Structure 1
Amino acid sequence: MSAKVVVIAGASSGIGRETALQYSARGARVVLAARSEPDLQDVAEQCRRAGAGGVLVAPTDIADAHKVQQTFDLAIETFGRVDVAAQCAAITAFGRFEDIPTEVFDAVIATNLIGAANVARCALAHFQHRGRGQLVLVGSLLGVTAVPYQSAYVASKFALCGLVRALRQENRHLPGVRVHGIYPGPVDTPVYASAANFLDRQSPRVPPTSDAPGTIAAAIIRAAEKTTSTERQVGWFNRPAIATYRVVPFLFDAVIGPLIRRVMFTPESVGQSAGNVFEPPAVGRA
Structure 2
Amino acid sequence: MTSKLWLLLAIPILLKLLKRRPLPPREARLPFEQERVLLLGASSGVGRDLALVYAKRGSRICLVARRQTELEKVREECIALGLDAEKVIMFAGDVSNTSDLISIRDVIYNAWEGLDTLHILAGLPSTLTLLGQAGVDLSPVPSSRASYTGIKRRDFHVGGATFPDVPGGIPTKEGLDVVAADARKLSEVNYVGTLLALTCFLPLLSATSKSPVVHHLSSVAAGITPPHRVVYGSTKGAALIAMEAARVECEGCGVRFFSLLPGTINNDFRLKLSTSGQPGRDETKMSSIKSGLESLLLSPETVVKTIFTNLSLNPAPQPLIPYPPFSWFRSLDVPPNSTQYIPSLYTWAKLMTFTPLGYLYVEPRARVKYGLPRW
Q: How many angstroms does 1:189 deviate by? A: 1.9
Q: How many angstroms does 1:204 deviate by? A: 3.5
Among 166, 171, 174, the residue aligned to 2:245: 166
The two structures have a TM-score, normalised by structure 1, of 0.83
Aligned to 2:74: 43
Query: Are the aligned partners of 1:16 and 1:217 in contact in 2 as well (CA < 8 Å)?
Result: no
Change (3 A) 1:197 1:81: closer
Query: Helix, strand or coil for the counterpart of 1:20?
Result: helix
Aligned to 1:114: 192
**Quick one: distance in 2 between partners of 1:227 and 1:118?**
27
Structure with the greater relative contact order (CA < 8 A, sep ≥ 6): 1 or 2? 1
- Superposed CA deviations along residues 224-244 of structure 1, whole A, max 9, x for unmatched, are 333326322232552353344
Among 47, 51, 63, the residue aligned to 1:20: 51
**Quick one: distance in 2 between partners of 1:77 and 1:34?**
20
**Quick one: distance in 1 between partners of 2:209 and 2:49?**
28
Q: Which amino acid aligns with 1:226?
A: L
Matches within 5 A, 1:28-107: 28-53=59-84, 54-98=87-131, 99=134, 100-107=178-185
Q: Which amino acid aligns with 1:250?
A: Y
Query: Are the aligned partners of 2:114 and 2:209 in contact in 1 as well (CA < 8 Å)?
Result: no
Q: Which moved more, 1:23-32 or 1:186-195?
A: 186-195
Among 348, 364, 369, the residue aligned to 1:254: 364
Aligned to 1:277: none
- Superposed CA deviations along residues 189-241 of structure 1, whole A, max 9, x for unmatched, are 2212214398x999443242221222222222233333326322232552353
| RMSD between superposed Cα atoms in Å | 2.5
Identity %: 19
Aligned to 2:229: 150
Query: Helix, strand or coil for the counterpart of 2:268?
Result: coil
User: Aligned pair 1:212/2:212, yes or no?
Assistant: no
Q: Which moved more, 1:40-49 or 1:211-220?
A: 211-220
Query: Helix, strand or coil for the counterpart of 2:303?
Result: helix
Change (3 A) 1:46 1:116: same
**Quick one: distance in 1 between partners of 2:205 and 2:122?**
21
Aligned to 2:343: 235
Change (3 A) 1:261 1:202: farther
Query: Are the aligned partners of 2:272 and 2:279 in contact in 1 as well (CA < 8 Å)?
Result: no
User: Aligned pair 1:138/2:192, yes or no?
Assistant: no
**Quick one: distance in 1 between partners of 2:258 and 2:274?**
28
Query: Are the aligned partners of 1:178 and 1:227 in contact in 2 as well (CA < 8 Å)?
Result: no
**Would you say how many aligned residue pairs link Structure 1 and Structure 2?**
262
Q: Which moved more, 1:224-233 or 1:40-49?
A: 224-233
Aligned to 1:268: none
Change (3 A) 1:74 1:142: same
Q: Which amino acid aligns with 1:83?
A: D
Q: Structure 2: state its 5+ residue gaps.
A: 1-31, 135-177, 291-295, 316-335
The two structures have a TM-score, normalised by structure 2, of 0.64
